[in-house]
Structure 1
Amino acid sequence: MSTSMQAYRASLLHFTGDPAFDEHATQWHGDGLLLVEDGKVKAAGDYSQLIASVPAGVEVQDYRGKIICPGFVDTHIHYPQTDIIGSPAPGLLPWLDNYTFPAERRFENPEHAAEVADFFLAELLRNGTTSAAVYCTVHPQSVDAFFDASHKRNLRMVAGKCLMDRNAPDFLRDTAESGVRESEELIKRWHNKGRQHYAITVRFAPTSTHEQMKLAGELAAQYPDAYIQTHVAENTDEVKWVKELYPDARSYLDVYDQYGLMRKRALYAHCIWLDDEDRARMAATHSAATICPTSNLFLGSGLFDFPNADKARVPLSLATDVGGGTSFSMLQTMNELYKVGRMGGTYLPAARMFYLATLGGARALQLEGTIGNFAPGCDADFVVLDPKATPILTRRSATTDSLEEQLFALAILGDDRAIAATYSAGRLAHQR
């Protein structure tokens, strides 16, 4: 009897909720079995209970000693900034002028865009990231190149063309009308094609005129299942600039709200300099905050306020924000997330950091039940973590006496070397 089932034996980790609010959210099977069929999760649980349901002839892939968890979901990253990661600058705005905008100019060349997209996706998979919300450039061809590369690999990705019709170099500007027209053409070409999803991408309020913001809001209303992604309240100089450009708005976030850009499937990067009214509005509209600790520290932007975000129950997720962010690794990003929390007086358990990198990201994308955990029917996007990937991890893992300690060691000491394998839709996409 032929079957398309695959079976993987390892310790299994996934979440049914946010451990900060649900003490039973962490699902752990020390000796677990993950069953996959036709690219979807069929079952996940204890090996002893599930092995009898594996058909004869199905080989069990033995990953004992390792941990299988859902693939990481990076909710804010810029693929055109791959080549400028680690570039020096005294702050956000000069970094954009000196590095980001010149690098993005090159994406008018489709061949360059395709080459970078290939490297970028390989780097995500090498770091265990199976889904991401990705910024392209102002050029439609940069979006086509990205989605073409992702679709060929059958990855679940969200991406969009930047809308920017002012306060940027001439070579990176569209117009209010052309930007939205091109975005709609890209939506029709790519949104929900296979596992691809389109995001209406206002780069940030300073680079869009009132007219472009208005048209972007109208496009979002026309395509309610498309995503929205932008930046908000990252840097104090930026917040001041927005106040000068939009003097009638109550706050930076309110600029987007006035144009109908706050709703489910809206992703707001950074969210550092918000007030209580902003946070309440994010929670009410189900707009998600994408926390970017490595870029916030690298550019000196500030520290995310966990207590007030949690008090308001803002949907939270984790993001690398490459290239202002300094690593493609979500494990390294957890390391910095923990430190950002400590500097703000918050202690983040490892379980919550892994939640933010998996189910938290899926919830931000409104894709719970599709990605982010091992519920039956979810895409079989998963990563195999090796607690013995390096000498220091091996030594530390040998002395851990709880799941929390083991996960914490991976979050603080782990990097791309801890990713033994990455699977996307049930297929091996990377192996170390």
Structure 2
Amino acid sequence: MTVTARAREIGDRVEAFVRDVIVAYEPDPRCRSHGPSEDLVVEMRHKAQAAGVLTPHILPGGSHLSHAETAYVLTRSGLSPLGPLAVNTAAPDEGNMYLLGKMGSSEQKAHFLAPMIDGTARSAFFMTEPAAEGGAGSDPSMMQTTCRQDGNHWVINGRKAFITGAEGAKVGIVMAKADEGACMFLVDLPHPAIRIDRVLDTIDSSMPGGHAEITIDNLRVPADQMLGNPGEGFKYAQVRLAPARLTHCMRWLGCCIRANEIATDYANRRHAFGKPLVDHEGVGFMLAENLIDLKQAELMIDWCAGVLDTGSLGTVESSMTKVAVSEALMRIADRCVQVMGGTGVTRDTIVEQTFREIRAFRIYDGPTEVHKWSLAKKIKRDWKDAQS
């Protein structure tokens, strides 16, 4: 896909900033098991703002780059696990900004979206619920969190799980079900009615605030903080869904590009059995397979971005892309660790973290198996339609 001059100029500045400034932060002790600390995020964003690369995918006036242009920029922001945080293209904020930019009222944009765009407010998306309690996960129709209208407010009760970035977030998007169907609310955080029960210890560590279990106890939300109308929550979730799946692919592609660079450098410098590792077929072939998987991932992302740029919801295409890219990146990350041997499992480089983050990526935004199941249902529907 042809890269526009605008995207290339923005993306190349983002890449230079990430490589020249942010990579140096990777061994910072403020990078912790539940994600980078708030003061580290603030420090990096101040530098991004000074460099003119903060929130680069949203243009002055609030319009977005096209999805194809976003792919070029976000891939480069992902060259370090800290890059998306530093330049404000990270999940869940990027997807939440996209949703509010598309569907928020002018008042909602002014109050909730503006501080997210300027990088002073992080956000959290409250949809997933505890599996042990039978709540919503890959099947959102299982949602148990409820909302009921009480005058000019709505009252929300329920439990949520795996809520990324809830600790330290200033903006919350809460999903609950009413008699009319699913609803989506905008909430100022922290809020006394939203309690963080615990932050889970997980395999990944790139997102500030980690992933929390939440109790929502009689949360009262003004009616004008509902996004859209009662019963439209799943419709709005669909607006966010495919682009957010795709931007995950973009960012982690960037991280795997960098991991492969590190593994390639190691294989060319490290000698064993009388020659550089890269000259051993078992190692050289792994790096060759990485190049193939990197290019296939890039092409899938570009294809899906092109579909979204036509105005399509891209539900099927984003499912296909999420499966293909997450699985390809998992193979790449695994090979990078293998090529580097003992060094690959240490935290001396980002290769070890990349492996952990990509392993988690195969689950969030829909596990591979759920996407394949959904695609198989479509295959059956299409076959039946062709017979009639």
| Structure with higher strand content | 1
Higher RCO (CA-CA < 8 Å; seq separation 6+): 1
- TM exceeding 0.5: no
State TM-score, norm by structure 1: 0.27
State TM-score, norm by structure 2: 0.29
| Structure with higher helix content | 2
